[in-house]
Chain A
Amino acid sequence: MVIDCKHVWNYISDFIDGALPEEIRVTVQKHLDHCEICSAILDSTRNIIILTADDRVFELPVGFSERLHKRIDLELMRFAP
């Protein structure tokens, strides 16, 4: 089976996730081995996922945890015997 670039783009997320059926994965891999553009798209997509998942991108505000647990304490006091 031969696929073109647009087909490969449709498979990128499942390829990164390791969720492609073996036959399709092999076909996509063969295409990636020879297509500089698609391999750059794959890598840039994967890199963006890695960067976005970095804890420093979406940091908790300073004092968030303390304020949250004070709020929980207020709630728990309503239920305390």
Chain B
Amino acid sequence: MPQVMNRPEPEMIAAILAGDIQLYHELIRPYERSVYVMALSYMKNETDAEDVAQEAIVRAFRKLSSFRAESKFSTWLISITLNEARTRLRRQVLVRMESLDQLPDEGNGLSPALLRDWHEIPSEAIERDEVRKLIQQAVDRLPDIYREVFLLRDVEELSINEAAEALKISIPSVKVRLHRAHLILQKQLAPQLRTVNRTPKRRLLPWL
């Protein structure tokens, strides 16, 4: 139904609230992956992540009348997803929760891996299960406050403002956390990816 899928979101939301509730299927479709990835970032296993994603999406439907158009629907939905995941984790007492707006310690001298000769993107590497697992594990190991910012900004491509809004933290906090996530991942992954990518065929980065 392309004519339905092309309808502007505010119009779809108004129609759903007016009673055309089946439209919710179409409203939610573009965000299924984002919701799942954010849920997975907390729950660490696919089954729990799927439960959280489903619950968040259903909860968003129940709360749709409280959605205010000052923010984007996607940002609002991600915020609900994160809340759902955190609530579930608190109930399960699985992890230590960190303050929502706790600024990272900037003074402990985190430095990246000092590399030479890593100007090429390992384009074939992503096709290898081993590499995907390395990346997933590295992201999983990030402290919560860095992982959620990294996923929102670099994986789900929210803007800095949207990430700040979804996480209810300040814009400077988003920037600091994102930078530290980059340095941690670079230090951990770059040497490993350089090692596993010893293939003869390589593609140069387009900007070089």
* Inter-chain contact A41/B122, CB cutoff 8 Å: no
Chain A hits for B194, CB < 8 A: 44
Task: Please judge, given known A-B contacts A51-B193, A53-B155, whether A6 and B111 are in contact too, CB under 8 Å.
Answer: yes
Whole-angstrom distance between the Cβ of A21 and the nearest chain B Cβ = 14
Is B185 within 8 A of A48, CB to CB?
A: yes
Interface segment among B5-13, B88-96, B176-184: the answer is B176-184
B158 within 8 A of A: no
Stretch at the interface among B32-40, B73-81, B162-170: B32-40
Of all chain A residues, the one with the shortest Cβ separation from B178 is: A13
- Which range contains the number of B residues in contact with the other chain? 35 or more
Q: Which of B14-36 contact A (CB under 8 A)?
A: 19, 21-22, 24-25, 28-29, 32-33, 36
Chain A at the B interface: mostly helix, strand, loop or mixed? helix
The reply to whether B58 and A52 form a contact with Cβ atoms under 8 Å apart is no
* CB–CB A48/B190 < 8 A: yes
Q: Is the CB of A72 within 8 A of B111?
A: no
Task: Produce 1/0 per residue, B181-204, CB < 8 A to A.
Answer: 011011001100110000000000
User: Which of A39, A44, A46, A81 has the most C-beta atoms of chain B within 10 angstroms of its own C-beta?
Assistant: A44
Residue of B nearest to A63 (CB): B50
B157 interfacial contact with A, CB 8 Å? yes
Instruction: Say how far B133's CB is from chain A's closest CB, in angstroms.
Output: 10
Given contacts A64-B32, A75-B58, contact A53 B182 (CB under 8 A): no
Residues on B close to A: CB < 8 A?
19, 21-22, 24-25, 28-29, 32-33, 36-37, 40, 46, 50, 53-54, 57-58, 61-62, 111-122, 125-127, 131-132, 135-136, 139, 150, 154-155, 157, 175, 178-179, 182-183, 185-186, 189-190, 193-194, 205, 208
Given contacts A12-B179, A44-B115, 8 further A-B contacts (CB under 8 A): A6-B111, A40-B115, A41-B115, A51-B131, A51-B193, A56-B126, A56-B132, A60-B33
